[in-house]
């Protein structure tokens, strides 16, 4: 069984803050932006063992700066965008979680605007979102 793991910062994330400021300047109505790395692993049927194995891997996890979370699904959640490299599908995936002013996950139109205006370069990346069936390319003219 394949499991998705999210590794995010527990310290301030300057990249997420810069994206937040840029998205606001580009007219995207978002209150908070969270970024994490998504990794896929074959599970040994024991999630706790998998988490311990990842926490011991210093190449992807630093306990001083990172937090780890086992995801329920292997696809983006509500209000979340996964950006995947076209040259390395399933490899280096960046998750962007956008939050509206009311504290709820961003709506579909906000996610679409964020992808089209900043978060995804359709020449080299693909945006994956829940509302698009989980596996569709960025809907830009270059497709």
pLDDT at 88: 86
Whether 82 and 93 have beta carbons less than 8 Å apart is answered as: yes
So what's the pLDDT on residue 45?
78
Alpha helices in the chain (DSSP H): 14-25, 47-55, 108-114
| Residue 47: its H or E element | helix 47-55
Among the residue ranges 22-36, 46-60, 107-121, the one predicted with the least confidence is 46-60
Helix (H) or strand (E) holding 83: strand 80-85
pLDDT per residue over 90-104, tens digit each? 788 999 999 999 999
Q: What is the pLDDT of residue 141?
A: 39
pLDDT given at position 132: 54
Sequence-distant (6+) residues with CB within 8 A of 24 are 30
Predicted model pTM: 0.87
CA distance 54 to 45: 15
Q: What average pLDDT does range 50-72 have in this prediction?
A: 94
Mean pLDDT of 33-45: 90
75: closest CA among 119, 133, 33? 133
Query: Distance between CA atoms of 67 and 63, rounded to whole angstroms?
Result: 7
Please tell me which residue, 139 or 4, carries the higher pLDDT value. 4
């Amino acid at each position: 069984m394949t499991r998705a793991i999210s590794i995010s910062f527990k310290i301030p994330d300057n990249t997420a803050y810069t994206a937040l400021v840029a998205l606001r300047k580009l007219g995207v109505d978002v209150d908070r932006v969270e970024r994490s790395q998504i990794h896929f692993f074959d599970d040994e049927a024991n999630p706790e063992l998998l988490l311990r194995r990842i926490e011991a891997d210093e190449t992807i996890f630093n306990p001083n700066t990172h937090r780890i979370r086992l995801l329920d699904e292997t696809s983006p959640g509500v209000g979340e965008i996964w950006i995947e490299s076209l040259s390395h599908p399933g490899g280096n995936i960046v998750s962007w979680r956008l939050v509206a002013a009311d504290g709820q996950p961003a709506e579909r139109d906000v996610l679409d605007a964020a992808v089209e205006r900043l978060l995804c370069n359709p020449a080299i990346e693909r945006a994956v979102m829940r509302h698009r069936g989980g596996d569709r390319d960025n809907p830009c003219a270059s497709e």
